[in-house]
Amino acid sequence: MHNAVAYLNVIGIVAGFIGGLMTFVYGLPNIDVLDSGAYSATEETDAIRRYKLLSKVGLSLISIGFLLQLPSAIYTINH
């Protein structure tokens, strides 16, 4: 059981690191409200859609990384 928790921790660290790099490169995703109404004067190109997607993937990887590291922290506290 301890090895599985350790592997989850390592995978979580790697996922968080990759997510952090992706967030640094692609920025934080814009609020969807700003994409509608008066603020939508520019057309959305493929590059903009790709940046939006990859920035959301980066934040998702950070969240997944945190969730994968959580069992390791709980296991360490209890043992």
Number of domains in the chain: 1
Q: pLDDT tens for residues 4-60? A: 888 999 999 999 999 999 999 988 877 665 555 555 566 778 888 898 899 999 999
Q: Do the domain assignments include residue 17?
A: yes
Q: Do the domain assignments include residue 36?
A: no
pLDDT at 75: 86
- DSSP three-state, residue 1: coil
- Distances in Å between the Cα of 41 and the Cα atoms of 28, 38, 49, 52, 71 are 20, 7, 15, 17, 46
Q: Do the domain assignments include residue 64?
A: yes
Structural domain containing residue 49:
2-31+43-78
Q: Do the domain assignments include residue 25?
A: yes
Q: Do the domain assignments include residue 8?
A: yes
Q: Do the domain assignments include residue 38?
A: no
Q: Do the domain assignments include residue 37?
A: no
pTM here is 0.78
The residue to which tokens 């980066």 are assigned: 58
